[in-house]
């Protein structure tokens, strides 16, 4: 089945791509990794003005959504440009707050998330929160319910330096004793899948450009058949993930979204391994921009559900719930 974006969706993707290309996101990512959030927050504000975060927020709370297909379109571009910050966590928090039986927390917190004035992170069952030092809304999910955490602990080392992990302070305001966790997980996995697809596409584009300009024995290494085969395998894996992603965004069925998540993340991870091999030793260099996407592909693979957990969700037909 072919899923084609309509002209408005293509224009949305193109405008995001143009804006992020001009923003020099690699330097923003490196600053964010060092704890300098100024450039990242400015970029966050520009992304919000385009309406990305409002797509996950219902109109009743000053959003434009929910529009999962358009959100997926936007997150592919955010992944393509390695945008830092709690992007997926803000979407998951919006889905969680919008689904609460009591509308008061949503009315208080969602408008600022939609406008980009605030960002959110979300920690499950005492796990570390992503970018807890940068997010303005920190939500903690545990057996007792959903709480608004009063603060965060020290930043911990992370596989991806741009993904800064922090524990959340215990206690805080209790927002709900029965939050819709499964609903938020579906949105988080969809956004992660879209982000991973964008990461994989960026890795493939950068690797194709590299093997075209690097020569060996007097010819570009990209002309070698073995190199072409590796790149073709990566391209096929990413293109197979694309219809699964947009099909899942249409149904928002847990099993469909889990299938999209595992397929997109595995395709991005395989592309990262190909990119690393074809770049040779320079691919291991942290100062080389390729490393920004390599680290993200690996981190997204297990974010919001490992491959095994997502495959189990698919096999159960979406019957698994927290």
End-to-end CA distance of the chain: 31
Output the pLDDT for position 30.
Answer: 94
pTM of the model: 0.95
Half-sphere exposure of 212 (CA within 13 A, CB side): 6
- How many CB atoms within 10 Å of residue 34? 10
pLDDT of residue 181: 92
Residue 53 has what DSSP assignment? G
Residue-wise pLDDT tens digits, 192-237: 999 999 999 999 999 999 999 999 999 999 999 999 999 999 999 9
Listed as ranges, residues in the chain with pLDDT below 70 are: 1-2, 318-322
% of the chain residues with pLDDT over 70: 98
Instruction: List, in sequence order, every residue forming a beta bridge with 120; answer none if it has no partner.
Output: 137
């Amino acid at each position: 089945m072919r899923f084609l974006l309509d002209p408005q969706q293509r224009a949305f993707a193109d405008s995001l791509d143009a804006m992020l290309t001009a923003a020099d996101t690699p330097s923003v990512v490196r600053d964010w990794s060092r704890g300098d959030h100024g450039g990242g927050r400015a970029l966050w504000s520009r992304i919000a003005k385009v309406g990305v975060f409002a797509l996950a927020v219902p109109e009743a709370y000053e959003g434009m959504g929910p529009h999962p297909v358009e959100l997926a379109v936007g997150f592919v571009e955010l992944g393509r440009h390695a945008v830092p910050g709690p992007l997926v966590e803000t979407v998951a928090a919006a889905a969680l707050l919008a689904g609460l039986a009591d509308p008061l927390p949503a009315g208080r917190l969602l408008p600022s998330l939609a406008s980009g004035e605030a960002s959110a992170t979300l920690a499950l069952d005492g796990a570390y929160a992503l970018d807890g030092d940068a997010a303005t809304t920190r939500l903690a999910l545990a057996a007792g319910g959903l709480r608004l955490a009063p603060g965060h602990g020290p930043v911990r080392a992370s596989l991806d330096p741009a993904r800064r992990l922090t524990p959340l302070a215990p206690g805080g305001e209790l927002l709900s004793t029965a939050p819709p966790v499964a609903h938020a997980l579906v949105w988080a996995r969809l956004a992660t899948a879209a982000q991973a697809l964008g990461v994989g596409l960026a890795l493939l584009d950068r690797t194709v450009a590299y093997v075209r300009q690097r020569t060996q024995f007097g010819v570009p290494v990209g002309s070698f058949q073995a190199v072409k085969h590796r790149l073709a395998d990566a391209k096929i894996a990413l293109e197979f993930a694309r219809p699964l992603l947009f099909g899942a965004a249409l149904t928002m069925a847990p099993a469909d979204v889990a299938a999209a998540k595992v397929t997109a993340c595995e395709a991005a991870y395989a592309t990262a391994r190909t990119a690393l091999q074809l770049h040779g030793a320079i691919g291991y260099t942290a100062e080389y921009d390729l490393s920004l996407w390599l680290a993200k592909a690996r981190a997204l693979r297990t974010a919001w559900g490992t491959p095994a957990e997502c495959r189990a969700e698919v096999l159960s037909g979406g019957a698994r719930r927290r």
